[in-house]
């Protein structure tokens, strides 16, 4: 039986895509290499924040099925690749999953199929890496099958913008490929924006994330000197953002996390350096500033204890919120990890609280998880708000803590130390 689309990679990006396509009446098959993911989904269990078990049940009810049987890919009229694009050991792009998923598609490719890459990657990937692999099938891109890139813009935990109402950029290898891909996405996304080609679509995604990365670095650098100058940077940002044009607010924090912001700009800077031989200086500087934030926060924490004649060595330090962003469970690249490592290297007696995280590992050990938040707050020498989950009444907690360090600027209480 044929299906409208096979989604390869059923994670934070692939599953919401599959869900939206199904809701719009498309028939969808899921393909993944992880037996855990396949078994879980087919049993109605979600492993991503934005989809509940009920949502998976609803998808299954409408014919969705997850498989690791590659031969089933041939039954789909479109194949969308949403697999991870991490960094390799040397800090460069690791296209291993993308290439392996592409090979699976190539082995099963049939004439007329639309193949779309959604994974974030460096400019040229679709044409230079995917195209030759897919053409090993004997079919020619732009002639026998359609090839396009469409960056995923999903923002996990965002209650307003989801797959359907976030405009979707689509760039094909040829104008006809673009048109086929636009027609495909228009079946389940409100606004589809055609790009000139695959490279423009690939670079648009990297510009978006690099812009964010650099602006976060800007306020992170400002946070340091504003503290020295006794200026409340959060108040500065509140004032600046009253300007209705030409300014967008970004906020400092203990570092950047997640699968996108700390990683994607590297794809661009690596590509510029390896192809053109010169650095993308903005990215490299932003990388440097953002990467040092956890150790800066650890130093400030030490200063707060020192001011009361206490040492970090042996101090009871409670970390609140260890995920990379508020109100989700995803801990990938969370700055809480390097912060905890820095505090521990100074001898801190660490514990953590997070409503979304059951177990948190630091190196080889499992960090003590606090169950009774009120008691833990009162007994800690220092409480650090690392991630501001909605369930934290920060001012109230700050009022009860012996010392409270707010790295997110959410407290108004003068008892709290702010970044």
Minimum Å gap between C-beta 104 and ligand NAD is: 6
CA dihedral 349, 353, 359, 360 (to 10 degrees): -50
Shortest distance in whole angstroms from residue 39 CB to ligand NAD: 12
Cα(339)–Cα(385) distance, integer angstroms: 12
Handedness of CA 277, 282, 287, 292 (dihedral sign): positive
Shorter beta-carbon distance to ligand NAD: residue 83 or 410: 83
For residue 9, state whether it binds ligand NAD (rule: CB under 6 A). Answer: yes
Least CB distance to ligand NAD at residue 203 (A): 14
> In 229-263, where does DSSP find H-type helix?
233-240
Catalytic: 177?
Answer: no
How far, in Å, CA of 409 to CA of 32, rounded? 40
Q: Out of 4, 5, 7, 32, which residue is the one contacting ligand NAD (CB under 6 A)?
A: 32
> Is residue 260 within the footprint of ligand NAD (CB under 6 A)?
yes
- How far apart CA 110 and CA 112 sit, in angstroms, is 6
How many residues lie near ligand NAD (CB under 6 A)?
26
Please, which residue, 75 or 174, has the CB nearer to ligand NAD? 75
152-171: contacts with ligand NAD (CB under 6 A): 152, 154, 156
Which range of residues in 78-86, 308-316, 353-361, 363-371 is near ligand NAD by CB under 6 A? 78-86
Q: CA-to-CA distance for 60 and 409, rounded, in angstroms?
A: 42
Query: Among residues 12, 149, 250, 280, which is the contact residue for ligand NAD, using CB under 6 A?
Result: 12
Question: Contact 398/404 with Cβ under 8 angstroms?
Answer: yes
Which residue in the list 82, 177, 226, 260 is annotated as catalytic? 260
| Window contacting ligand NAD (CB under 6 A); options: 18-26, 76-84, 175-183, 351-359 | 76-84
> Which residues does 296 contact at the CB level (< 8 Å), separation at least 6?
224
> With respect to ligand NAD, which residue has the nearer C-beta, 153 or 418?
153
Residue 270 Cα to chain centre, angstroms: 19
> Toward ligand NAD, which CB reaches closer, 95 or 383?
95
Closest CB 209 distance from ligand NAD, rounded Å: 8
Contact assessment for residue 132 and residue 149, using Cβ atoms and an 8 Å cutoff: no
- Strands laid side by side in the 114-117 sheet: 65-67, 28-31, 3-8, 76-81, 114-117, 146-149, 168-172, 192-194
**92 contacts ligand NAD (rule: CB under 6 A):** no
Q: Which of 8, 147, 301, 382 binds ligand NAD (CB under 6 A)?
A: 8
Task: Using CB atoms within 10 Å of the CB of residue 353, give its burial: 0 to 12 exposed, 13 to 18 middle, 19+ buried.
Answer: buried
Q: Could you list the active site residues?
A: 260
Residues in contact with ligand NAD by CB under 6 A are 8-14, 31-34, 37, 82-85, 97, 100-101, 119-120, 152, 154, 156, 259-260
């Amino acid at each position: 039986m044929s299906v409208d689309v096979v989604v390869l990679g059923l994670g934070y990006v692939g599953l919401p895509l599959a869900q939206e396509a199904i809701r719009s009446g498309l028939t969808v098959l899921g393909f993944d290499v992880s037996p855990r993911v396949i078994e879980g989904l087919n049993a109605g269990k979600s492993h991503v924040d934005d989809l509940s078990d009920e949502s998976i049940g609803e998808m299954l009810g409408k014919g969705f099925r997850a498989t690791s049987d590659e031969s089933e890919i041939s039954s789909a009229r479109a194949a969308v690749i949403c697999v991870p694009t991490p960094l390799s050991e040397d800090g460069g792009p690791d296209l291993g999953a993308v290439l392996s998923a592409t090979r699976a598609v190539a082995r099963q490719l049939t004439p007329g199929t639309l193949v779309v890459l959604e994974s974030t990657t460096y400019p040229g990937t679709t044409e230079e890496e995917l195209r030759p692999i897919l053409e090993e099938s004997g079919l020619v891109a732009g002639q026998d099958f359609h090839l396009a890139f469409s960056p995923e813009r999903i923002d996990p935990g965002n209650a307003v913008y989801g797959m359907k109402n976030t405009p979707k950029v689509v760039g094909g290898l040829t104008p006809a490929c673009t048109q086929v891909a636009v027609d495909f996405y228009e079946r389940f996304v409100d606004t589809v924006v055609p790009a000139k080609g695959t490279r423009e679509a690939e670079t648009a995604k990297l510009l978006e994330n690099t812009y964010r990365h650099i602006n976060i670095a800007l306020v992170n650098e400002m946070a340091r000197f504003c503290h020295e100058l006794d200026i409340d940077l959060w108040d500065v940002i509140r004032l600046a953002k009253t300007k209705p044009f030409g300014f967008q607010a970004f906020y400092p924090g203990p570092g950047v996390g997640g699968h996108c912001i700390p990683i994607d700009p590297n794809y661009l800077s690596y590509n510029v350096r390896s192809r053109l031989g010169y650095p993308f200086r903005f990215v490299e500087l932003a990388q440097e500033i953002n990467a040092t934030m956890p150790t800066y926060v650890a130093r400030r924490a030490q200063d707060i204890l020192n001011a009361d004649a206490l040492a970090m060595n042996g101090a009871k330090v409670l970390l609140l919120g260890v995920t990379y962003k508020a109100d989700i469970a995803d801990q990938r690249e969370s700055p809480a990890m390097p912060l905890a490592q820095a505090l521990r290297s100074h001898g801190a007696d660490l514990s953590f609280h997070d409503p979304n995280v059951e177990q948190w590992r630091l190196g080889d050990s499992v960090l003590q998880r606090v169950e009774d938040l009120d008691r833990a707050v009162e007994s800690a020498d220092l409480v650090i708000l690392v991630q501001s989950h909605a369930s934290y009444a920060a001012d109230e907690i700050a009022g009860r803590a012996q010392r409270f360090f707010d790295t997110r600027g959410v407290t108004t209480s003068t008892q709290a130390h702010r970044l």
